[in-house]
Amino acid sequence: MAIDPVCKMEEVMRVEHITLGIEGAELEGEVIDSLAEAQKAGDTIREHRRGIAPTYSDLLGEGRYDPTDPTQLTYAQALNLENYLYLAVVAFGLTQSVTASGIFMVITGIALGGTGVVLYRLSQIVS
């Protein structure tokens, strides 16, 4: 029994209710289930996170991470969600690459097999 990684990733996104969060658009509330949607959502969260602070160092200043500081907590949560979405982008992309490689291998195998059959029949006719 094989598990389709794309289906698994889509199911995880549905269970977690990860949506694009685009208000007033045709995609409002749509669960992220493709590479392009995950990339768009990750980029959006990155823009919002950088609105809090341009970098993590700027957020902390001279201090250390303080989980009781709502700004730092929001930044950390945004960073985690951004990483989660970019991981989904990598997973979707890897799945597409492996699928394309598999299709190429099948086509190559069929072509080589067909060539072998034709050459075998030609050798039988010539003999």
60-102 residue pLDDT tens: 887 888 888 898 888 888 899 899 889 988 988 888 899 999 9
pLDDT of residue 120: 95
pLDDT of residue 1: 41
In the chain, domain spans: 5-96
How confident is residue 6, by pLDDT bands cut at 50, 70 and 90? low
Q: For 42-72, b where at least 16 C-beta lie within 10 A, e where not — what string?
A: beebeeebeeeeeeeeebeeeeeeeeeeeeb
Question: For residue 9, how many C-alpha atoms fall within 13 Å in the half-sphere facing its CB?
Answer: 22
Residue with tokens 């490689």, as numbered in its chain: 101
What is d(CA 96, CA 11) in angstroms, rounded to the nearest whole number?
17
